[in-house]
C-alpha cells in the first residue's frame, strides 16, 4: 500500500479538479495532481512530468538531476573500486615476481 510507482503524465483531463492521466509502463489511469501543482508549476506545465504515483495521487515530481546524481555517485564508486582492485592485483603481481 505504501509503495509508489513512477509514471509520466500524458494529458490534463480536468484542470479545475486537477485530474490528469498518467502512463505507468503502458497502463493508463486518471490521477489527482493537486500535490504537484503550484504557482511556479501550473497545471498546463504538468504534461510530460515524471511523477511518483501513490493511491491515485501524484505525490512528487521526480527530480531528474537528483536521480542522475545518485547514479553518478554509484558509478564513481564502481570505478574507484575497479581502480583500487587493479592497483592491488598489479602490486601483488610485482610482489610475487620479486
Partner 1 sequence: MRYVDEFRDRAKADVLVKEIERLLAHTGRDQDRPLQIMEVCGGHTHTIFRYGVEGMLPKSIELVHGPGCPVCVLPMGRVDDCVAIAEHPEVIFTTFGDAMRVPGSRRSLLQAKADGCDVRMVYSPMDALALARQNRDREVVFFGIGFETTMPSTALTVLQAEREGIKNFSIFCNHITIVPTIKAILDSPDLRLDGFLGPGHVSMVIGDAPYEFIARYYKKPMVIAGFEPLDILQSIWMLLRQIDEGRCEIENQYARVAPAGGNAVALQAVAQVYELREFFEWRGLGSIDHSGVKVRDAYAGFDAERKFAVPNARIADPKSCQCGEVLKGVIKPWQCKVFGRACSPETPLGALMVSSEGACAAYYQYGGIKRGRDETEASVA
Residue ranges that bind partner 1, judged by CB under 8 A: 1-6, 8, 17, 25, 29, 31-32, 34-38, 50, 52, 54-57, 59-60, 62-64, 66-67, 69-71, 73-75, 77-78, 81
What is the sign of the dihedral through the CA atoms of 8, 12, 18 and 22? negative
Cell triple for residue 2? Answer: 505504501
Query: Which CB sits closer to partner 1, 77 or 90?
Result: 77
Query: Which CB sits closer to partner 1, 30 or 97?
Result: 30
Amino acid at each position: 500500500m505504501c509503495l509508489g510507482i513512477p509514471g509520466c503524465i500524458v494529458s490534463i483531463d480536468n484542470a479545475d479538479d486537477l485530474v490528469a492521466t498518467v502512463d505507468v509502463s503502458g497502463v493508463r489511469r486518471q490521477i489527482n495532481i493537486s500535490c504537484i501543482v503550484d504557482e511556479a508549476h501550473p497545471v498546463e506545465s504538468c504534461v510530460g512530468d515524471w511523477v511518483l504515483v501513490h493511491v491515485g495521487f501524484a505525490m512528487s515530481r521526480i527530480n531528474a538531476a537528483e536521480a542522475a546524481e545518485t547514479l553518478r555517485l554509484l558509478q564513481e564508486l564502481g570505478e574507484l573500486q575497479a581502480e583500487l582492485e587493479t592497483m592491488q592485483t598489479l602490486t601483488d603481481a610485482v610482489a610475487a615476481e620479486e
